[in-house]
Structure 1
Amino acid sequence: KSSQNLINIDFIGISFRDAGNLKYKYRLDGLNRDWNYTFNTQVEYAFLPPGNYEFEVIAINSDGLESENPASLSFTILPPFYYTWWFIATMILFLTAIAYYLYSLRLKQIKKENDLRNDINLYRQQALSKQMDPHFVFNTLNSIQSFIIKNDSLASTQYLSKFAKLIRLILNNSQNQAVPLDDEISALTLYLELESLRFQKKFKFELLIDPAINSSSCFIPAFLIQPFVENAVWHGIMGLKGTGHITVELKKNHNEITCIVEDNGIGRTKSMEMKTPEEIAKKSFGIKLVEQRLELLNNLYDINMKVLFVDLYSENGKPSGTRVIINLPMIS
């Protein structure tokens, strides 16, 4: 056996003249073919490697005469099982199968990631088209025209400048999967300023940014916040008789950014009652796009982004607005 590689060999020569004073020469063929000399009648070999061996010993008397034929002993030390051909062949087959399985798994993962990225790009382009909504563009240009007709050159110039900056930001952001938080804040500010001017200060707004957030180096997925701000304007504030108020708050929460969009509008239930089926479908499409993008991003990056809608009520139980909470990852 492979573990039996410590060998002790005893031998003795017979001589009536030199009893007990014989010299011996010996060798272990398979380890070393050189002869060794000793007066001992025992030799020991430790840690012999696997292989075939033949031990030979010759007795030498005091006159230097050697025995005619060497005494010999043959033995074999078997290799351990992990050196046998069948084990090596089995391991090669096993490792080949593992490598092929991992290769196939990686191919499937790459294909899945590519499919997810393609789907994300598709929904991102749809989100872009939603932000570049023809109605919004048309209404904005109408407002600019109205200022021009009234000879309000200052207002028309400011309005046109803000609109141009917003369009440039939207087009720039459309090229990237994630955008700097600074750009997203600028786009939201411009959008709210344009809508506030167009509706003659019907609502006020404020953006609250957590000081712990480095907005210049922090990136978030593009086109995720704006649809909820748009809903706050059109489906919350527009049906309100008094002055509306919209708050967009960004707070750092470990490796996430919690975005809270809150309005003091008429609430979701009242808004649904006032809308036509076409308007309801349009609103649902915008939110559905965001939710589908969130699901795809969750699968791609193994994260847990989600949207929570909270209906707000006054002390007497009447609807007093809507709060939307969005968990966004901070992307490096």
Structure 2
Amino acid sequence: MMNNNVLLIGSLLLIVLTSIGIISLFITFNNRKNQLLQEKLEDQLAAQKRQHNSELNALRSQLNPHFVHNSLNAIQYYIQRNEVEISEDYLTKFSKLMRLFFDYSRKKQITLEEEISFLNKYLQIEKLRFEEKLNYHITVDPQLDTDACLIPTMLLQPMLENAVNHGIFHKPDAGFIEISFKLDDTKKGYQLSIIDDGIGLKKSKELRNKNKASTKAHSSEVIKERISILNDSEEWEINYKIIDRSQESNTTGTAIYMTFKHLSE
């Protein structure tokens, strides 16, 4: 009888200890789960803040004060020369571009058709400023449905601005920019190339260093950071490559190659 009671008590103690152990493991697991959820939430909030800051920097890099200043100076130049038609045309194009800029800056993405129109208006203004020193051409694959394809807003314009101001501007003779949009081989995205025959990345960097013109928030770095964040968002898959053309052939200039896939489609 005594042995039975001892066994019963021992069994009860074992059950109690086992229960305490299970409860303790459950509490530990639950605490760890809550900790991980909190860390994940904090990471998400940090990522959102990083994206927000990057987008603000990206927007600030668009149509920067130098472009606005240069455009207004060019308009004034034509007015002083009494070339009224050219100055009116310049001012009309400039105001339309400003309106589009403010409209698009409030959106996360626009259609490729809208982006191409925006880039064309920007380059028309730059061509008025540089006159015959700047020429460009935009090619669009007829298989590409530009009304259906999307692109992040305000991503390509600073690339063209770099090509104009850091490439073509320092070239002694006329410069040319070729922009091409093409449906990719998988037909699930599209390819972009921006190729200029300016002085190239290497010489441009040497000039910036010589003139101490490089800044911490240079638009090229902003572009790379924004592309990285867009890829992290899992909404986009964007590949970006920029090269000095002299590294591949006996020519000068800069080439940018990009592929876009909108994963939310």
Contact 1:120 1:296 in 2 (8 A): yes
**Alignment partners' CA distance in 1, 2:118 and 2:196:** 19
Q: Does residue 268 of the first structure (1) align with residue 201 of the second (2)? A: yes
Contact 1:128 1:170 in 2 (8 A): no
**Alignment partners' CA distance in 2, 1:235 and 1:283:** 16
Distance 1:303 1:188, change over 3 A: closer
Q: Does residue 168 of the first structure (1) align with residue 88 of the second (2)? A: no
Q: 2:252 corresponds to which residue?
A: 320
1:260 shift after superposition: 0.8
Contact 1:179 1:221 in 2 (8 A): yes
**Alignment partners' CA distance in 1, 2:234 and 2:131:** 43
Distance 1:303 1:220, change over 3 A: closer
Q: 2:144 corresponds to which residue?
A: 213
- Aligned residue pair count: 248
Contact 1:307 1:325 in 2 (8 A): yes
Q: Residues 202-281 of structure 1: matches in 2 within 5 Å?
A: 202-253=133-184, 254-277=187-210, 280-281=213-214
Q: Residues 1-332 of structure 1: matches in 2 within 5 Å?
A: 105=36, 108-253=39-184, 254-277=187-210, 280-282=213-215, 285-301=218-234, 304-313=237-246, 318-330=250-262, 332=265
**Alignment partners' CA distance in 2, 1:108 and 1:324:** 38
1:246 shift after superposition: 0.2
1:97 shift after superposition: 8.0
Letter in 1 for 2:125: L
1:93 shift after superposition: 9.3
Letter in 1 for 2:242: F
**Alignment partners' CA distance in 2, 1:322 and 1:314:** 10
1:288 shift after superposition: 0.6
Distance 1:251 1:96, change over 3 A: farther
| SS in structure 2 at match of 1:234 | helix
**Alignment partners' CA distance in 2, 1:94 and 1:211:** 63
**Alignment partners' CA distance in 2, 1:255 and 1:106:** 34
TM-score under structure 1 normalisation? Answer: 0.64
Contact 1:305 1:326 in 2 (8 A): yes
**Alignment partners' CA distance in 1, 2:220 and 2:204:** 15
**Alignment partners' CA distance in 2, 1:129 and 1:241:** 30
1:144 shift after superposition: 1.1
Normalized per residue, the structure richer in helix is: 2
Task: Using the aligned pairs only, state the percent identity.
Answer: 29
Letter in 1 for 2:258: I
Contact 2:63 2:158 in 1 (8 A): no
Unaligned 5+ segments in structure 2 are 1-17
Q: Which range moved further: 101-110 or 88-97?
A: 88-97
| SS in structure 2 at match of 1:199 | helix
**Alignment partners' CA distance in 2, 1:233 and 1:299:** 30
| SS in structure 2 at match of 1:262 | strand
Letter in 2 for 1:259: L
Distance 1:284 1:188, change over 3 A: same
**Alignment partners' CA distance in 2, 1:261 and 1:222:** 17
Unaligned 5+ segments in structure 1 are 1-86
Residues 114-141 of structure 1: CA distance to partner in whole angstroms, max 9, x if unpaired? 3323222212221222213111111101
**Alignment partners' CA distance in 1, 2:246 and 2:95:** 38
1:159 shift after superposition: 0.9
Letter in 1 for 2:55: R
Higher relative contact order (CA 8 A, sep 6+): 2
Distance 1:203 1:225, change over 3 A: same
Distance 1:89 1:160, change over 3 A: farther
Letter in 1 for 2:66: H
**Alignment partners' CA distance in 2, 1:134 and 1:303:** 30
Letter in 1 for 2:115: E
Letter in 1 for 2:227: L
